[in-house]
Structure 1
Amino acid sequence: MSSGYRLSGMPGSVAVALPDGVFTAYAPIGDPGTPEGPAGDTGRGLPPWRVSERVAARRLLTTLIAAVAPTPGRLAVGSRPGGQPCLPGRPDLEVSLAHSGAVVAAAVHTRGGAVGVDVQEPYPVGDALVRRCCPQGVAALLRHDRPTRDAAVARIWTVQESCAKATGRGLGIRPWRIPVGPDQEHGRWRHLRWRTLPSTGGTPWSCAWEPIDDRKGATP
């Protein structure tokens, strides 16, 4: 995995290159008054704060794609019937978006495999939620002070949610059942690989993707 680098035109952004032609990025939402997003995305009918998140996430995605898989003209971001983002003008690319509080994240699989990204600002979690989402490390987590526990649970959830997004089914697969250890930074689940990413400003984020091998399809 390469170290993080900045994306041109996205203040505060961090982009990371992962194996298998996968790239992901994170950025603060920035100025919520900036109205223009990618083509085909107006956020019409949404409350203003949701429009800001939506536009910021799609702007981050199109900036990331411009850096790693340039596309002539303005790139439109659409949605599939299930709500997953897609690129009608670039069916060779699979993408994912996420937002939490004041930050957004985006990912692109340049080789057409499934991909999911998630970001989660920590928030206070009770013992019941720790036991539900983190059964592998519940004893250790419950011994931590609250801020440390909250950050660990948020990080674990970003792994679980990014895997769920990469399946295309989201919460339908009950992501809290995906096993992730409290100190685990990378791993595999079903046909996917996943990795937690360098935290910026204390907000965890993770990416999951489908490994691709040119000769054999999915890697073992």
Structure 2
Amino acid sequence: MSGRIRTPVGGVHHLVARNEEVLGALPVADADRAAAAGLPPWRAAEHLASRALLRFLLREVGEDAGGGPVAALPGGRPYLPGRPGLGVSLSHSSGWVAAAVGRGRGVGVDVQVPAVVGDRLLRLCCRPGDADVLAALPEEARRREFARVFAVQEACVKAVGEGFAGRPWTVPVPLGGRTGAWNRVRWAVARDDGDAVPVACAWTVPPVPVPVRVRRPAGP
């Protein structure tokens, strides 16, 4: 894997890579292959690549989940059955996938391949002054800067388990910002020195305590 694991804060890690690189270099768990059966080919590729990348990341940071399933809550938030103290997040965008893990806290990751953005979406997601700045940029720069903003917004609502229902466009993200905060969430945008597409990671603060099962002594 050519991607570099990023750790914006202790216990939080994320990684981004191309679908074909992941599927060409990493094994696919039987549980993931079974879950992807019946999906359209393009959707199956995203499903398998994102979960293979997550399993690789977990192994690399010492949180190997084995070959068990990566389940999802009704709203779509992924989780690892039997690992309630470990937050995970997945993202995919036009041939790219990203994965994140957070020990004892909610975590969100989002990758956004720059694309054409209309004036209505620009002004929905950005503050009025920022929207004007973006609108005046050359097309390629506007696409990339907006992709960074929206990646942060998506990562933040994922971190609190709300996804698109959390109205990501309401998360304030300043242009050019690399780190920031939104309510009880902190976020960071990866620099361009290693990633070909904008990717953002967000995590909850303070960390959520990890449940500990106390074994009671046997009776007389």
Q: TM-score, normalised by structure 2?
A: 0.85
Question: Which of 91, 110, 114 is the matching residue for 1:118?
Answer: 110
**What are the ranges of 5 or more consecutive residues in structure 1 without an aligned counterpart?**
1-10, 216-220
Deviations 1:127-183 (A, max 9, x none): 222111112511211111011001000110000000111121111121111100111
What's the % identity of the aligned pairs? 39
Give, as a single letter, the amino acid of the residue that structure 2 aligns with 1:114: G
Residue 96 of structure 1 aligns to a residue whose secondary structure is strand
The answer to whether 1:24 aligns with 2:14 is yes
The whole-number CA distance in structure 1 between the counterparts of 2:179 and 2:23 is 37
Q: Does 2:60 match 1:53?
A: no
Structure-2 change in CA distance of 1:143 and 1:59 (3 Å)? same
SS of match in other structure, 1:40 = helix
Aligned position for 2:213: none
Residues 1:79 and 2:72 are matched in the alignment: yes
Equivalent residue for 1:99, pick from 89, 92, 96: 92
The structure-2 alpha-carbon separation of the partners of 1:73 and 1:140, relative to structure 1 and needing over 3 Å to count, comes to closer
Q: Corresponding residue for 2:177?
A: 184
Give the whole-Å Cα distance in 2 for the aligned partners of 1:170 and 1:72: 24
Of 177, 189, 204 in structure 2, the residue corresponding to residue 196 of structure 1 is 189
Q: Could you tell me how far apart the structure 2 residues matched to 1:31 and 1:157 are? A: 25
**C-alpha separation in 2, matches of 1:86 and 1:172:** 18
Instruction: Name whichever of 13-22 and 25-34 sits farther off.
Output: 25-34
Larger displacement relative to structure 2 (122-131 or 69-78): 69-78
Question: Residue 160 of structure 2 corresponds to which residue in structure 1?
Answer: 167
- Deviation at 1:33? 7.1
Letter matched to residue 29 of structure 2: P
Contact 2:58 2:65 in 1 (8 A): no
Give the distance between the partners of 1:148 and 1:214, measured in 2 at CA. 38
1:69 aligns with 2:62: yes
Alpha-carbon contact 1:38-1:77 (below 8 Å) kept = no
| Alpha-carbon distance in 2 for matches of 1:132, 1:214 | 32
Paired position in structure 2 for 1:14: 4
The AA in structure 2 aligned to 1:124 is: V
1:40 aligns with 2:31: yes
Task: Tell whether 2:132 aligns with 1:139.
Answer: yes
Local SS of the residue matching 2:174: coil
Q: Which runs of 5+ in 2 are unaligned?
A: 210-220
Q: Which amino acid aligns with 1:129?
A: L
Contact 2:31/2:67, CA 8 A, preserved across alignment: no
Question: For the residues of structure 2 that align with 1:151 and 1:172, how far apart are their CA atoms?
Answer: 24
Cα displacement (A) at 1:44: 2.0
| Range that drifts further, 156-165 or 195-204 | 195-204
Q: Which has the higher contact order (CA 8 A, sep 6+)?
A: 2
Larger Rg, first or second structure (1 or 2): 2
Write out per-residue CA displacement over residues 20-58 of structure 1, whole angstroms, 9 at most, x where no aligned residue.
Answer: 310111111116876962342231221011111111100
SS at 1:14 equivalent? coil
* Displacement after TM superposition at 1:70 (Å): 3.5
Count of equivalent residues = 204
1:104 aligned counterpart, secondary structure: strand
Tell me how far apart the structure 2 counterparts of residues 186 and 85 of structure 1 sit (CA, whole Å): 24
